[in-house]
């Protein structure tokens, strides 16, 4: 998912120079000619992932604009642009909430390093916040990724269940994120901040299930060298998440049912039952009603657990959430692996959204992890997902030593296009840049027979930028005809 950068500067030449650099790296760029226009965009739902803000502008200075943005609750990272490199100016900008500053004129390399670092820092801060909330048992449904119909239903059902102590059964295929939903349900409840204890019933040793769940006294059996509380008592006051509940043996289902009904557990070797206050959240990827009919799951326990069912959708049923999931995983793995991947190329996202993902979110997560490790470009390409795209990574090409990065003020703007691109209209007036650009791209598609890599190279822009412009200009049909 390409990031959007808002460039706020009253100088149109500066805005175009900055856009030329950001376009080459695949960023989407939007403009504002004044601080007021920037504030209207950021508070009116337009939004951006990063703001490049000039400090010296008429009517409203950049410092005043920054102050109003922060007062309005806009937390988007801001990099200030200034022609004055004085320490006082920089200090004031940082104190007002800026993440970085550029002294004009800025080199293209310095610009990209600053933009990448600011976006990376924002991702790291968000990831630390999520991990902190998870560790404290305060994750909520706002932390769940996805705004499609299927996930909106899950969030709605979960939010209602969180307001009570009703037992919840989360169903769904393996890898859909049932534990993530359970943690959000706990974090949104009155028990938020209390223990959340997860148990995978399918991974418990048969001879130790009772001891692990209910605890044991010292000397209760061979090897019991010390007293153990058990998962129920560890979760006292909070929530106990019983994952893969369908894997629990029948004899243990009886004891689990009693613990839930009576609100007490009998530790192995204990002399008396111990009262507990635990909310039960269970999950399964099996059809428990079918297991009841087959006699391998107790009917009374099924009805006790299945009071409030929530079905977690498969990833193939929520493809619209894949870009947001990929973005979340990129942020996390960048932090863990020390990488600087900025996002996914548009053609890569299209490919990922077209895949069926039999392993669901867990498979997508592992695929992005592998792609992050392999990636050499700022944006993930289809060949970074060879198991899905069937493409091998291109062989590395030794590049000649690059000359020193030019300053933005010295970047040569592209010359006006030659025939057959018309610069003036029938009345002798200059045509708009948008009209000229559309004709230029259309001409390039015809000349190079729709080969997007060659067109992008000849036009001096990134492939992702070219694809975006083709969509914006409505030239998809032209592209299909050329192909």
Residues of 139-154 as b/e, b for ≥16 C-beta within 10 angstroms? bbbebbbbebebbeeb
Residue 476: CB atoms within 10 Å: 11
Residue 234: CB atoms within 10 Å: 16
DSSP 9-29: -S-HHHHHHHHHHHHHTT-EE
Asked whether 77 and 48 are in contact (CB, 8 A), the reply is no
Domains annotated on the chain, with CATH: 4-132 (3.40.50.2300), 141-313 (3.40.50.300), 316-389 (1.10.8.60), 417-482 (1.10.10)
First to last CA, the chain: 26
Under DSSP, the state recorded for 351 is: H
Q: How far apart are CA 87 and CA 91, in angstroms?
A: 6
Strands 50-54 and 4-8: parallel
Q: Which residues, listed in sequence order, are joined to residue 332 by a DSSP beta bridge?
A: none
Helix or strand or coil: residue 411?
A: coil
Q: Which helix (H) or strand (E) holds 101?
A: strand 100-103
In the chain, count of helices (H) and strands (E)? 20, 14
Of 65, 55, 57, residue with least CA distance to 90: 55
Asked whether 249 and 206 are in contact (CB, 8 A), the reply is yes
Asked whether 437 and 473 are in contact (CB, 8 A), the reply is yes
Of 83, 17, 377, 318, residue with least CA distance to 181: 318
> How does pLDDT run along the chain (483 residues), one tens digit per residue?
568 999 999 988 888 889 988 888 878 899 999 999 999 999 987 889 899 999 889 889 999 999 999 989 888 999 998 877 667 777 888 888 888 888 888 888 888 888 888 888 887 777 777 777 777 777 788 888 989 999 999 999 999 999 998 999 999 999 999 999 999 999 999 999 899 999 999 999 988 899 999 988 887 777 777 888 999 999 999 999 999 999 999 999 999 999 999 999 988 888 889 999 999 999 999 999 999 999 999 999 999 999 999 999 999 999 999 999 999 999 888 878 888 888 888 899 999 999 999 999 999 999 999 999 988 888 899 999 999 988 876 665 554 554 554 555 444 444 434 445 776 666 667 777 788 888 888 888 877 777 777 788 888 887 778 878 888 888 777 666 665
* The token pair that represents 169 in the structure block: 């059964």
> For the range 327-331, what are the long-range contacts, defined as Cβ-Cβ under 8 Å and sequence gap of 24 or more?
327/1, 328/145, 329/364, 329/365, 329/368, 329/369, 330/123, 330/368, 330/372, 330/380, 331/123, 331/124, 331/126, 331/127
């Amino acid at each position: 998912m390409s990031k959007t950068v808002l460039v706020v500067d009253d100088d149109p030449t500066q805005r175009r120079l900055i856009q030329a650099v950001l376009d080459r790296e695949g960023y989407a760029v939007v403009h504002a000619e004044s601080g007021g226009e920037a504030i209207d965009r950021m508070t009116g739902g337009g939004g951006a992932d990063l703001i490049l803000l000039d400090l010296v502008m008429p009517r409203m200075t950049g410092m005043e604009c920054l102050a109003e943005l922060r007062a309005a609750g806009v937390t988007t990272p801001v990099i200030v642009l200034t022609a004055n490199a004085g320490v006082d100016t920089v200090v004031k900008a940082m104190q007002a909430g800026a993440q970085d500053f550029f002294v004009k004129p800025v080199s293209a390399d310095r610009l990209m390093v600053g933009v990448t670092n600011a976006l990376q820092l924002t991702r790291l801060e968000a990831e630390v916040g999520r991990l902190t909330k998870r560790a404290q048992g305060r994750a909520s449904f706002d932390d769940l990724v996805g705004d499609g119909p299927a996930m909106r239903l899950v969030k709605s059902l979960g939010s209602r269940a969180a307001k009570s102590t009703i037992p919840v059964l989360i169903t769904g295929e393996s890898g859909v994120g049932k534990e993530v939903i359970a943690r959000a349900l706990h974090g949104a409840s009155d028990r938020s901040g209390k223990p959340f204890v997860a148990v995978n019933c399918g991974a418990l040793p048969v001879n130790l299930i009772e001891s692990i769940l209910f605890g044991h006294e010292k000397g209760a059996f061979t090897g019991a060298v010390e007293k153990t509380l058990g998962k129920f008592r560890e979760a006292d006051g909070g929530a106990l998440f019983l994952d893969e509940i369908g894997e629990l043996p029948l004899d243990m289902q009886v004891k689990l049912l009693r613990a839930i009904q009576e609100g007490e557990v009998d530790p192995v070797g204990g002399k008396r039952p111990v009262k507990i206050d635990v909310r039960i959240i269970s999950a399964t990827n099996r059809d428990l009603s079918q297991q009841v009919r087959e006699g391998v799951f107790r009917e009374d326990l099924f009805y006790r657990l299945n009071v409030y069912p929530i079905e977690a959708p498969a990833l193939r049923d929520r493809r619209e959430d894949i870009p947001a999931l990929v973005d979340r995983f990129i942020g996390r793995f960048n932090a863990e692996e020390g990488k600087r991947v900025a996002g996914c190329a548009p053609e890569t996202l299209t490919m990922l959204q077209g895949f069926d993902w039999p392993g669901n979110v867990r498979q997508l997560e592992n695929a992005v992890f592998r792609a992050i490790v392999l990636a050499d470009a700022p944006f993930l390409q289809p060949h970074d997902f060879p198991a899905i795209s069937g493409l091998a990574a291109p062989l590395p090409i030794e590049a000649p030593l690059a000359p020193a990065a030019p300053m933005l003020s010295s970047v040569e703007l592209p010359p006006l296009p030659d025939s057959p691109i018309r610069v003036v209209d029938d009345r002798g007036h200059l045509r708009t840049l948008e009209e000229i650009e559309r004709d230029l791209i259309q001409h390039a598609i015809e000349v190079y027979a729709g080969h997007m890599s060659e067109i992008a190279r000849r036009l001096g822009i990134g492939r992702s930028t070219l694809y975006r412009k083709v969509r914006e200009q409505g030239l998809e049909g032209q592209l299909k005809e050329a192909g």
